[in-house]
Amino acid sequence: MHLQLLVNGQQREVDVNEEATLLEVLREHLRLTGAKNGCGEGTCGACTVIMGGKAVRACRTPVARAVGQEIITVEGLTPREKEIYAWAFTAAGAVQCGFCTPGMVMEAKALLDRQPDPGEAEIRQALKAHLCRCTGYQKIITAVRLAGQALRGEIEPYRGEPAGLGKAFFRPDAPPKVLGEAVFVDDMQVPGMLYGAVFRLPVARARIKGIDTTVARKQPGVVAVLTADDIPGKRYQGHIFKDWPALVAVGEETRYAGDALALVAAKSTREARAALDFIKVDYEELPPLTSPEEALAPGAPALHPRGNLLSETQVKKGDAEAALRSCAHVVTNTYQTPFTEHAFLEPESALAVPENGGLTVYTSTQGVYEIHAQLVSLLNLPPDKIRVINRFVGGGFGGKEDLSVQHHAALLAWATQRPVKLTWTRRESILCHPKRHAMTITMTTGCDAAGNLVALVADLVADTGAYASLGAQVLERACTHATGPYRIPNVTIRGRAVYTNNPPAGAFRGFGVPQSNFAMETQMNLLAAAIGLSPWQIRWQNALEPGDTLATGQVVSEDIGIKETLLAVKEAYESSPCAGIACAFKNVGLGVGTPDTGRANLAVEGGRVRIYSSAACMGQGLESVLIQIVAETTGLPAEVIDCVLSDTALTPDAGCTTASRQSLFTGEATRRAAAALAEALRGRTLAELEGRVFRGEFHGVTDPLNSTREHPLTHVGYSYATQVVLLDDAGKVSKVVAAYDIGRAINPLNLEGQIEGGIVMGLGYALTEDFPLREGIPERQTLGRLGLLRSHQVPAMEVHLIEKGGTPYAYGAKGVGELATIPTAAAVAGAYYRFDGKVRLSLPLEGTPYTRG
């Protein structure tokens, strides 16, 4: 149908499908990509525009309804509005991945247009239709208040602090994210581009007898249909274990409902998806194994050639079984934690473009070199023929480490020799990508009469789902951190990661430690009750100190700040009879003997310094961290420093953005390169160094788990935290007070936002988020049913940054991305234990005001 629309003050004519939404027309026809497609169901708010003076969800608005109405997108803000909103969100630290931010800005504009001076409650209510998985909302609310003040003329936008260490330096990537100018993969269009779609079965486990694509190939707009036979290289890929088929072949079994059987490339997304209905698969449905117990049972079918046990981890120190017999108090419980969904706001997307006899793949990933290696193997091409480039990454939290859409877009592009973009719907994202591991943890903890911990015995069983992903490594971290940041002389821990026909489980913020932390911290509360000690006191007297040894044998270094975090929250804890407390620690870097290198090159180009590193920024503010390190080391102003991240053709391999490692590893590599630049600048100008490149590397050398060394170095560093959760009289969370030993705070503004976002993620894990499965298939396949907390549900948060020493690297910086989430669920559980005396052994916690009916 032919329509006339009034968009951003201009009349625009479009010819569109009668079922088209306003969002589809804005993005695909008018190329106004500031409004994002985060869910397609009107849940996340990322697509918000103003229509007829009201904020609307463009993904749920039929375009025909927009005729005759004035439509304003983020691109249509006035120059003054753009200046103010970009400044306000940047100054407040309200921007991380940025995918949701333009929608928030348009909601804020609609609010401030009708109510120039809203209170906090009004702002929270206005934003309740929006989701943000990064920030925790608190800084977004501050940003809206700042914008209102500036629009009323009460304040003028100001600059951030200079780019030195410890400064609230304004991150350079914030303004383009606020204004919708940052390019995410699904924003891209190139000439001749095709669109990809993937065929999957509606069951978790099936034996494939035949695949017929004859009719599908003849459908309108279809250019290619591919099956496993069309893969030129190695079909099985994986982040570490090569156990995941890019396409399941005839004669094989599918292992979960997300398995791909065929790919379609067509001239439009509608045509590609329509053609899927014409692919005919002959299959035999098989009973799925939906629990580790079923998978480990005698006679269970083997889901992989290696069997159903992916990995086993053992941690032993002293003689825990014997020591338990001497304890004055012993507590044993079995804990259950669920699968949970990452729910990053940007669904997975990739654009593969044939060029120079190879492929350039634009994507959104936590590690471009990890994707590059698998694409080289899959396509059987020389490494120099594949180039992987990150566009802006709209959140990750561990969920964008594995192949998702990149290999399928690449296969279609290689087969057609045309560009192909493949973007998952939100349903596909929920169905397919790896989740947080569900775990069953049986733990026995004993102490003496004074409350000093003596022994711990734990058995952990992790449901790693259909494929390995990072399941073995997640299990390992869950085991090595199961003791908490406490002195325990006798420890025996056994962990098993088990294949099932559930969705794969892999990396997720905290990497297995939120699960074991929930168990250990609950045990601490029960021991405290048995002895008559305060939960704060039992943690204080057992907290690690310099010279103590971890369960792995590593000696605790002088930079440990766990006791300082306990002191920072003591008053808050003691202020309420219904406060819960939990401590946590988390490694920085891959550790356990795994090769781990950060790299950065500093090039002097055009009188400027350009930082090159493959490290991915998925919202944590890595670009500003690296710029601040260079500025601190060289004395150069930020205005002459740029950053180029995540391009395998331009940037050195700095490893995956995981394990809270980039500030330390790539930060130290950057510092070393900057030190060489600073030396070269003595008596010279940048102009005199034109063309010079200064390279930095940092190798984090560690020992494997169960090393025979007397005092192995399991990890290069650890961060520590304590959180206190306060309940009101109705049993709702009213405030979270959190203290973090993060070494040197390079940018406190960015750090606080990360921590607040991590706390809110932890609150959801504790109270509202679940991921129930039926016969291995997720029951909730929309964003709106996942239980994600919104702005009006989030409590006040108070963050204390403890800067105690830090590592010898990157000016003492330690990571906080994962740690921020780990202790929250346990602290919430502790608060409810004091509130009603009930011991809750599973997540999300039952019998709270947040419990779903």
How many CB atoms within 10 Å of residue 730?
A: 7
Please report which helix (H) or strand (E) contains residue 461, including its range: strand 453-465
Over residues 256-315, the pLDDT tens digits come to: 999 999 999 999 999 999 999 999 999 999 999 999 999 999 999 999 999 999 999 999
Rounded to the nearest 10 degrees, how much is the dihedral formed by the CA atoms of 174, 180, 182, 183?
160
Closest alpha carbon to 559 in 823, 715, 742: 742
Q: Phi-psi category of 318—alpha, beta or left, where left has phi over 0 and alpha has psi -120 to 50?
A: left
- Residue 803 CA, distance from chain mean position: 25
Q: Which residue has the tokens 């629309």?
A: 5
Q: Please give the span between the terminal C-alpha atoms of the chain, in angstroms, as a whole number.
A: 44
How far is it, in rounded angstroms, from Cα 499 to Cα 304? 8
How far is it, in rounded angstroms, from Cα 588 to Cα 817? 10
Q: In this predicted structure, what is the pLDDT of residue 805?
A: 72
Can you list the positions of beta strands (E) in 189-293?
194-199, 206-212, 222-226, 236-237, 244-245, 253-254, 262-266, 280-285
Over residues 57-115, the pLDDT tens digits come to: 999 999 999 999 999 999 999 999 999 999 999 999 999 999 999 999 999 999 999 99
Can you list the positions of beta strands (E) in 270-418?
280-285, 309-317, 329-337, 349-355, 358-363, 386-390
Please report which helix (H) or strand (E) contains residue 498, including its range: strand 490-499
Under a CB-based contact definition with an 8 Å cutoff, are residues 350 and 422 in contact?
yes
Rounded to the nearest 10 degrees, how much is the dihedral formed by the CA atoms of 597, 600, 601, 604?
-170
Could you tell me the sign of the dihedral formed by the alpha carbons of 474, 480, 481, 482, in that order?
positive
Q: Sorting pLDDT into bands at 50, 70 and 90, what band is 852?
A: confident
Q: In this predicted structure, what is the pLDDT of residue 41?
A: 96
Q: In this predicted structure, what is the pLDDT of residue 806?
A: 82
Q: Sorting pLDDT into bands at 50, 70 and 90, what band is 853?
A: low
The mean predicted confidence, pLDDT, of the chain is 97
Q: Sorting pLDDT into bands at 50, 70 and 90, what band is 152?
A: very high
Under a CB-based contact definition with an 8 Å cutoff, are residues 322 and 330 in contact?
no
Q: Which residue has the tokens 């401030």?
A: 112
Closest alpha carbon to 145 in 748, 97, 98, 137: 137
Query: What does the pLDDT average to over 661-673?
Result: 98
Q: In this predicted structure, what is the pLDDT of residue 85?
A: 98
Would you say residue 582 has pLDDT above 70? yes
Q: Give buried/exposed letters for 264-280 (b at 16+ CB in 10 A, else e).
A: bbbbebbbbbbbbebbe
How far is it, in rounded angstroms, from Cα 465 to Cα 455? 32
Q: Which long-range contacts (CB under 8 A, 24 or more apart) does 80-85 make?
A: 81/109, 81/151, 82/179, 83/157, 84/147, 84/150, 84/151, 84/157, 85/109, 85/147, 85/178, 85/179
Which tokens hold the place of 431? 């169905």
Crossing angle (nearest 10°) for helices 101-114 and 79-91: 110
Whole-model pTM?
A: 0.97
Domain architecture of the chain: domains with CATH: 2-160 (3.10.20.30), 194-286+361-430 (3.90.1170.50), 312-340+435-591+711-836 (3.30.365.10), 597-699 (3.30.365.10)
Over residues 789-832, the pLDDT tens digits come to: 999 999 999 999 999 878 899 999 999 999 999 999 999 999 99
Q: 76 vs 79, 109, 127, 293, 314, CA distance in Å? A: 9, 11, 20, 57, 59
Under a CB-based contact definition with an 8 Å cutoff, are residues 310 and 498 in contact?
yes
Over residues 232-273, the pLDDT tens digits come to: 999 999 999 999 999 999 999 999 999 999 999 999 999 999
Which tokens hold the place of 708? 């025979």
Closest alpha carbon to 478 in 455, 499, 462: 462
Closest alpha carbon to 722 in 847, 592, 542: 542
Would you say residue 702 has pLDDT above 70? yes
Would you say residue 686 has pLDDT above 90? yes
Under a CB-based contact definition with an 8 Å cutoff, are residues 848 and 832 in contact?
yes
Q: Which residue has the tokens 């010079």?
A: 692
Residue 47 has what DSSP assignment? Answer: T
Would you say residue 320 has pLDDT above 70? yes
Q: Facing residues of 369 across strands?
A: none
Residue 427's SS3 state is helix
Q: In this predicted structure, what is the pLDDT of residue 804?
A: 86
Residue 85 has what DSSP assignment? Answer: H
Non-local (6+) Cβ contacts of 272 within 8 A are 194, 195, 196, 197, 221, 222, 264, 265, 266
- In terms of Cβ atoms closer than 10 Å to its own Cβ (0-12, 13-18, 19+), residue 322 is exposed
Closest alpha carbon to 481 in 332, 342, 582: 582
How far is it, in rounded angstroms, from Cα 412 to Cα 431? 22
How far is it, in rounded angstroms, from Cα 719 to Cα 740? 7
Under a CB-based contact definition with an 8 Å cutoff, are residues 368 and 648 in contact?
yes
Over residues 191-204, the pLDDT tens digits come to: 999 999 999 999 99
Peptide bond into 823 cis (omega under 30): no
Query: What does the pLDDT average to over 452-474?
Result: 98
How far is it, in rounded angstroms, from Cα 742 to Cα 87? 27
